[in-house]
A and B are shown apart, each in its own frame.
Chain A
Amino acid sequence: MESRKVYMDHGATTPLREEVLEAMMPFLREKFGNPSSIHAQGREARQAVDAAREVVAAALGAEPGEIFFTSGGTESNNIALRGTAALKPKSHFITSSIEHHAVLDVCKDLEEQGHRVTFLPVDSNALVDPRVLEEAMTPDTAMVSVMMANNEVGTIQPIGEMAALAREKGVLFHTDAVQAIGQIPVNVKELQVDFLSLSAHKFNGPKGIGALYVRKGVPLTPLYRGGGQERKLRPGTENVAGIVGLARALELAVQELPEKMSRLKHLRDTLIKGLLKIEDVILNGHPEQRLPGNVNVSFKYIEGESLLLSLDLQGVAASSGSACTSGSLDPSHVLMAMGLDHETAHGSLRLTLGRGNDEADVDYVLKILPPIVERLRNMSALYKKR
C-alpha cells in the first residue's frame, strides 16, 4: 500500500471548509468595517454579525440575544465560570474530574479564590453518575459544569438529566460542548442548560472564535472590560470574519449532521473493531455513548508518544491525549480518573475522525498500525518481561 496523508486528529482541530473560507473572505477584504462605526462600512459589518448571531441561535435552539461571541472555547468556559463566581462570593461549584483544562484549571483557580469545588468522579467508561451529582449539591452550590462530550475518550454525558437535577435545586448549569457541536445534536432548549460553550475550529470553522450561550435573564460578570461590544459581556472589536465563519460552519455542520454521524460511526466502529484485534489492546471510553468520531485505545507495553511518532512518519496525524497536554509527560487526567493504571494510560492513542476521512483512511491506519505496535513492543522491556 502506498503511503498517504491521513488526518485523524479532529479532536484537536479540524480543517477549515472551503465554503466557510468563502463566506469569510469578503469580511477580510472589502467589508472590513468596524461594527461599532455608524457609517455604511460599519453598518455592513454590524449586519453580518447580527445575521451570524441569528444563524447560531437557530442552530442551537436559542434566541439571538442569548448568543455571545468570544475568542474560543477556552474563553467561553472562563467567562461562564468566572463570571458566575464573581457574582457569588465564596460559593460551591461542582464539576467533573474529566473536564478539559479550560474548566478544570479555572475551578482550581476558583478554589484559590475561596470558593469550594467538588470534582465528581467518573466510572470506568468516563460517565458521571447523575445521582452522585444530586448528592453533591448543597444549599450554597452556585453552579455545576459538566462537559457534554469528553475530548479524549469521547464519552457523552447525560447532560439533560443532570441539568434538570440542578434546575430543581436552583443551581446554574454550564456545559462545555466544544467537542459535541458538529458531532451530535445539541439543543439548548431541550437540554435546559444555562450556559453552553462552543469553539468554531472543532467543527471545520476558523480558529480564534467561539461562542457562549447564556440563557436569557441569567446574570454574568464580564471577564474583560472595554467598549460596549457583545452587550458589554465581551468587549473588543469584533472578529467579524471569524464570526461569519463560525456561523457558516455551524449552519453546515447542523445541516449535514445526520449523514455525518452515521458515516463517522461506521468508520469509527470499523476502526475500533480492527484495533481490538491487536493483542493487549483496550478501548477507552464508553462503547456506545461516545462521539461518532472518537476512537481511544490503550496499547499495553508501549508509550503512546512513540506510537504517535511512528504514525506521523507514515503520514498519520493522531494524538495521545488532548493536544494541549501533548507536551507534558503526565498521564492523562481523564484516563486516570477512569481508573486506568499509569502504564495503560501512557499507552493510549486517540484517533479522531472527521469530515475528510473515508474507508481508505481507516484501512490504511489498520494496515500500518499492527507492525508499528509489534516493533515498539519488541523494543519494550516490559513486553519481554510480561
Chain B
Amino acid sequence: MQEIYLDNSATTRPYDEVIELMARVMRTGYGNPSSNHAKGMEAEKIVREAREALARALGCRVEEIMFTSGGTESNNQAIKGAAYRHRRRGNHIITSAIEHPSVLNCCRRLEEEGFKVTYVPVDSEGYILVEELARALSAQTILVSLAHVNNEIGTIQPLDQIGPMIKKNNPQTLFHVDGAQALAKVPVELDRWQADLYSCSAHKIHGPKGVGALWIKANTMLQPLLEGGGQEGGLRSGTENVPGIAGFGLAVRRSVKLMQANNDLMYGLKERLLQGLQKAGVTVSVNGPPPRRSAPHLLNLCFPGIKADILLRALEQEGIYASAGSACHSRHPQPSHVLQATGLDEDMIAASLRFSFSGLNSVAEIDTVVKQIVKSVTELRQILP
C-alpha cells in the first residue's frame, strides 16, 4: 500500500542528500571538534559550515548561532536562560495561550519559581490579541516569547507589528520567537521583528531529529542551562552532534532554496484538499485563518459530528497519516489547548484533524486523500446518529 504522509508538522522525512551527508560524516568525519589534531579540525570545519548555512538562512552573524539538541532545548534555553539571567531587572514574562508545550511548560515552571507569567489570549483564528499584549507589557517584563507559526492551526503572527511594540515599551525586554514551524516556510526577518532570540529544529525541515539551533542576537546575555566543556561559546556544553549538525546545515540550505516552490505547491495542495471535500459535499470547516493566510503546510479541519480519532484510524487503514493535534499530546489525548483558546467547543475540537504537508507531497496524493476522506466520512455519518 502506498503511504501518504500528511503529518509534517510532527516531523518530516529527511532529504536523501541529508541522509547521505550524515552517513558520510559518521563514517569519516568522526573527530571531536574540540580536539587539536587533523581529525578534530575536520569535524570543526563541518560544524562551521553548517553554522554558516544557518546564519545565511536566518540572515544573522555566524557567531550568533548556537546548536542544540532540538526545538525543545532551544526554547528552554531561551526562556529559562533569559529569565534566570535577567531576574534582577524584573520577574515578568509574556507568552500566548497557544504556545507549544516546550514554551508553555517552561513558563509554568518559572511561575513555580516565582516569576509572573501573562498568557495572552488569541482570537478565533489564533491571532494574538495585540492590545492585550500591549496592556500586559510593563517595566517588569523581561521576556516575551511567541511562536511565529502555530503548530496546530498555522496562524502566522504579525511579528513585525508585535516586536517593535515590545521594544517601544521597553528596549530591554527580550523578544524570543519560536520558529520551529516557521523556518523555511515563512520568511525570517529578525531585524524587522526586532527579535533577540529565535528557536528552530532540524527535523521539521527534512533534517535529522535531535538537532536544533538557537539564534542569540549579539550581546544578548543568557544563563547557560548546561555546564561542561564550554562548547558553543560556553553557552551549550557537550560534544557537538557533528553528523546531525551537518545534516541540519544541508537541510536548511535545501529547504530555504526550495521555499518558494514548496510553498506554492503546499498552498495548492491545501486548497485542493479543502475544495475537493467541499465539492464532494462533505461538511467541513477550517480551524485557524483561511488557508491562504495560514502557514503553507498546515490545514486544521473540523468535520462536525465525526470523531477525529475514528476518522484518523480509518485513514490510517488506507496508509494516510495525519494527526488529531500536536504529536506531543497524541499519546495522552486531551482537548487541544490551541483549539480551546480559539474558542472552539469540545465537540468541534473532538472532530478536528490536522493535515500537514511538505514539499514531498503531490497532487495525486491529495486526490487519493480526498477520496478516502469522503468515503470514510460518508460511512461514519451513516453509522453515527
Contact = CB atoms under 8 A, between A and B. Distances in A.
B323 interface: yes
Contacts of A225: 76, 101-102, 105-106, 108-109
Contacts of B238: 71-75, 102, 208
Interface in B1-43: 3, 5, 7, 10-14, 19, 22-23, 26-27, 30-32, 34-40
Contacts, number: 272
Given A36-B10, A320-B36, A237 B227 contact: no
Nearest to B43: A13
A233 B284 CA distance: 39
A364 B71 CA distance: 46
A370 to B, nearest CB: 20
B14 A29 contact: yes
A271 interface: no
Contacts of B36: 305, 308-309, 312, 319-320, 323, 326-327
Interface residues of B, number: 71
Given A21-B23, A237-B327, A208 B227 contact: no
B73 interface: yes
Interface residues of A, number: 75
Contacts of B237: 74, 101-102, 105, 324
Interface string B88-126: 000000000000111001101100000000000000000
Interface string A61-105: 000000000011111011000000000000000000000111001
A29 B19 contact: yes
Interface in A3-30: 7, 9, 12-16, 18, 21, 24-25, 28-30
B196 interface: no
B316 to A, nearest CB: 5
B69 A36 contact: no
Interface in B42-80: 69-73, 75-76
A239 B87 CA distance: 33
Nearest to A319: B35
A15 B225 contact: no
Contacts of A227: 72, 101-102, 326-329
A317 B99 CA distance: 47
Interface of A: 7, 9, 12-16, 18, 21, 24-25, 28-30, 32-34, 36-42, 71-75, 77-78, 100-102, 105-106, 108-109, 199, 201, 206-209, 223-229, 235-242, 305, 308-309, 311-312, 316-320, 322-327
8 contacts: A18-B27, A37-B11, A74-B226, A227-B328, A235-B101, A242-B210, A317-B39, A323-B34
